[in-house]
Structure 1
Amino acid sequence: MTLLHLDSSPLGDASVSRQITAAVTAALAGSEAGTIVTYRDLAAEPLPHLGGELLQALRPAPGAPAPESAAVRAELALTEELIAEFLAADTVVIGAPMYNFAIPTQLKAWIDRVAQAGRTFRYTASGSEGLAGGKRVLIVSSRGGKYAGTAFEAALDHQEAYLRAVLG
């Protein structure tokens, strides 16, 4: 099995989601001999957010020249590396704590690079369709405060619905 383990909480050792993703990853890796684990700490090594120049390079207009900037070429190479890790994984374990009613910006930066039309999903007449096929994705969702079972849960939780949509 090939497993991709992502943590996104900036709380380090105080993070509940990190503790749980570590336990889940260890259990999964221990259950199958030869498991290869790729780990990314998206908080310790945050990915730059998408900028205009990178977006244009990711979705070039027909006939547009290749990016000339060394910085953009480096960003494109990083994006390719992230997509390759995602596509190679049989199982993906994602630590997704809720901050300010949504996922951490560090996790959003990873998703923005991996969710690529024509690569990991495509648009169809009936909506978007995943192209990564057959992956098991485990989300370790954590949050402070009081949300579950309250009137606030549906109105203020922009974490789980977003993750279900983008990973679906």
Structure 2
Amino acid sequence: MTKLLHIDSSILGDHSTGRALTADVVAHFRAKEANLEVTHRDLVAQPLPHLDMELFSQFGKDIPADAPRRDEHVQSAEVLAEFEAADIVVIAAPLYNFGVPSQLKSWIDRLMIAGRTFRYVPTGIEGLIGQKKIVIVATRGGIYEENTPAAAFEHETSYLKAVFASLGQEVTAIIAEGLARNGGANRDAILAAAKDKIAAL
């Protein structure tokens, strides 16, 4: 059985373009995989606490029943287990103030555990989780692609590619940008192009 982990992080709910496009990605893989098991984690409906030293110090450890903040520790362990078990990871990543939503950053902080998901080696960082298919759906109101005036301000897809590269993963990025430019005049064409890329996965 193939396991797919679907991550949503937009605060816009049903009005989110990224949520709609990632749903299309999941539907695409459902059509391709007869035995696809999907786990959906909505990081807005189920927010994770921001990382602090108490949480960080307990990553990867057994948590006693009477431990302070035990529910938060268990939640962190569940998030990591979902990611480790997944063969395919589909992530909705809107661009907020030039970076990823804080909700998504809190999820990433549960994955990056030295000695568990990656390790330091003489040549840099080596992933320890095997190979997964990582699909990022990046949505942006403006234009931030390479060789444009705002390219240096894009810390969303470039950041996520760096995160997953450190875990030994390659990323397929489906980018729908310019959605808010000219009053959204090109929105339909942008979404159609994104859906063509989804169909080609």
Q: Answer whether TM exceeds 0.5 for this pair.
A: yes
> By how many angstroms is 1:23 displaced?
0.4
Whether 1:70 and 2:71 are equivalent positions in the alignment is no
- Mapped to 2, the partners of 1:161 and 1:146 lie a distance apart of 14
- Mapped to 1, the partners of 2:78 and 2:103 lie a distance apart of 17
The match for 1:103 is 100
Structure with the larger RCO, 1 or 2 (CA within 8 Å, 6+ apart):
1
- Mapped to 2, the partners of 1:76 and 1:161 lie a distance apart of 29
Which residues of structure 2 form unaligned runs of 5+? 166-201
**Cα deviation digits, residues 34-57 of structure 1 (max 9, x gap):** 110000001111111111221223
Q: Give the letter for the 2:154 counterpart.
A: D
Distance 1:68 1:52, change over 3 A: farther
- Mapped to 2, the partners of 1:68 and 1:31 lie a distance apart of 45
- Mapped to 1, the partners of 2:75 and 2:130 lie a distance apart of 22
Whether 1:120 and 2:117 are equivalent positions in the alignment is yes
Whether 1:150 and 2:148 are equivalent positions in the alignment is yes
1:57, 1:67 within 8 Å by CA — same for their partners in 2? no
**Cα deviation digits, residues 65-84 of structure 1 (max 9, x gap):** x796431x322211111111
**Cα deviation digits, residues 71-102 of structure 1 (max 9, x gap):** 1x322211111111111110000001110000
- Mapped to 2, the partners of 1:67 and 1:161 lie a distance apart of 40
The match for 2:59 is 58
Q: Provide the aligned C-alpha RMSD in A.
A: 1.8
Secondary structure of 1:122's partner? strand
The match for 1:132 is 129
Secondary structure of 2:58's partner? helix
The match for 1:91 is 88
1:2, 1:88 within 8 Å by CA — same for their partners in 2? yes
Q: Give the letter for the 2:29 counterpart.
A: L
- Superposed, 1:12-23 pairs within 5 Å as 12-23=13-24
The match for 1:25 is 26
Output the TM-score relative to the length of structure 1.
0.89
The match for 2:163 is 166
Percent identity at matched positions? 50
